[in-house]
Structure 1
Amino acid sequence: MPLTASNEIAIGTRAPAFQLADSGGRKHGLEDFAGSKALLVAFLSNRCPYVVHIREAFAAYACEYAAKGVRVVAINSNDAAAYPEESAEALGKEAKQFGYDFPYLKDGSQDVAKAYGAACTPDLYLFDGDLKLFYHGQFDDSRPSNGIAVTGADLRAATDRILAGQGSPAEQKNAIGCNIKWLSGSEPAWFGAKVAAE
């Protein structure tokens, strides 16, 4: 299957503001996460095999690091009209089934995905306590077909560096996965330009 790689985003970029609702209609904004030691903004999907492959380990990461002062927020920006399994209602079911103990928000307009430069799912943005980008890369080396165990090693290592007061990782491997399912006619300039090899 054709894969999409995450865009290059400059380390130190400030997290764009957002105001999005979860499946219950409750609004969440970037300001709600102020004061945390780190914030992970994750663009996810309910159907992409690359997210399905890591979702349980991702939920475990979020639970483990929440105890260390790290917050997580997930955003689904896929076109729900074309893909009903990506609807706001479906997000609530996904979160409950897989133990997502963090807000899972619907970006129906896709404006937030565009503001972040998100290209694929999963697309992971780890910000430091000042909400400046510290890590933008893969969860780990595991893929649905390569037989490597899912550990979250890359994201965990980056998060540990924040908590230890160290600098950003020198190497940050691009995330790869399914492209965000853009609304017809409103695809961003980078759509289709970041094809990746598995």
Structure 2
Amino acid sequence: MPLTHSNEIALGTPAPSFALADADGRIWTPADALGTKGLLVAFLSNRCPYVVHIREAFAAYARDYAAKGIRVIAINSNDDGAYPEESAEAVRIEAETYGYAFPYLKDGKQEVARAYGAACTPDLYLFDGEQKLFYHGQFDDSRPKNDLPVTGVDLRAATEAILAGVERPSEQKQAIGCNIKWLPGHEPEWFGAATAAA
């Protein structure tokens, strides 16, 4: 089955700004969520099997690194008209159910996904303390249909590199998953251009 992989984004790119509300109406920007060492911006879904496969390990990653200065902010940009399970209320329930101890925001107009060049879910952008892109790649090699354990080894290695003050990882494997479900007529130029085998 064809899947979408993440776009190539130049390392060092500044984190695009945005202002999105959480389930309680609080407005979040990247600066609000930034930890002392960095920020992970994650484009997630409530229904994509590739996110479902990692969500508990992803929640653990966020808990593990929050105290070390790396914070997480997650964004759901899927069309909730066609996919009600991606609504703002569903986002709130997802966060509560799976212990997301970080803001999980709804990008209803999909402007943030466009600004980041997000293509798939999960799509992970790790920024350093200066909000410059340090890592844009996969969580790990585990997939819903392989037998590899979900460890987050690739994202964790990049995060440890930030904490250690060393160079960006030389290998950054593209993330792969479901395409973002774009509003009709709102598809970006990269939509459908990048697919890979499951």
**Structure 1 residues 74-110: Cα deviation after superposition (integer angstroms, max 9, x where no partner):** 0000001110000000111000000000000000000
The reply to whether residue 121 of structure 1 matches residue 84 of structure 2 is no
- Say how many residue pairs are matched: 198
Q: What is the Cα deviation at residue 33 of structure 1?
A: 2.8
**Structure 1 residues 178-198: Cα deviation after superposition (integer angstroms, max 9, x where no partner):** 000000001000000010122
Correspondences of 1:99-178 after superposition (within 5 Å): 99-178=99-178
Secondary structure in 2 matching 1:105: strand
Gaps of 5+ in 2: none
**Structure 1 residues 31-64: Cα deviation after superposition (integer angstroms, max 9, x where no partner):** 2134520100000000000000000000000000
Secondary structure in 1 matching 2:126: strand
What is the CA–CA distance in structure 2 between the aligned matches of 1:141 and 1:31, rounded to whole Å? 30
The reply to whether residue 52 of structure 1 matches residue 72 of structure 2 is no
Question: Which residue type is aligned with residue 157 of structure 1?
Answer: A
What is the CA–CA distance in structure 2 between the aligned matches of 1:24 and 1:88, rounded to whole Å? 11
Question: Percentage identity across aligned positions?
Answer: 74
Question: Which residue type is aligned with residue 131 of structure 1?
Answer: Q
Residue 26 and residue 48 in structure 1: after superposition, are their counterparts in 2 closer, same or farther (change >3 A)? same
Question: Which residue type is aligned with residue 61 of structure 1?
Answer: Y
Secondary structure in 2 matching 1:127: strand
What is the CA–CA distance in structure 2 between the aligned matches of 1:27 and 1:190, rounded to whole Å? 29
Q: What is the Cα deviation at residue 2 of structure 1?
A: 2.0
Q: Show the counterpart of 1:70.
A: 70
**Structure 1 residues 138-174: Cα deviation after superposition (integer angstroms, max 9, x where no partner):** 0000000011000000000000000000010000000
TM-score (norm 1): 0.98
Question: Which residue type is aligned with residue 121 of structure 1?
Answer: T
What is the CA–CA distance in structure 2 between the aligned matches of 1:81 and 1:55, rounded to whole Å? 23
Question: Which residue type is aligned with residue 67 of structure 1?
Answer: A
The reply to whether residue 181 of structure 1 matches residue 189 of structure 2 is no
**Structure 1 residues 101-139: Cα deviation after superposition (integer angstroms, max 9, x where no partner):** 000000000000000000000000000000000000000
Superposition misfits of 4+ residues, deviation over 6 angstroms? none
What is the CA–CA distance in structure 1 between the aligned matches of 2:16 and 2:84, rounded to whole Å? 27
What is the CA–CA distance in structure 1 between the aligned matches of 2:2 and 2:82, rounded to whole Å? 19
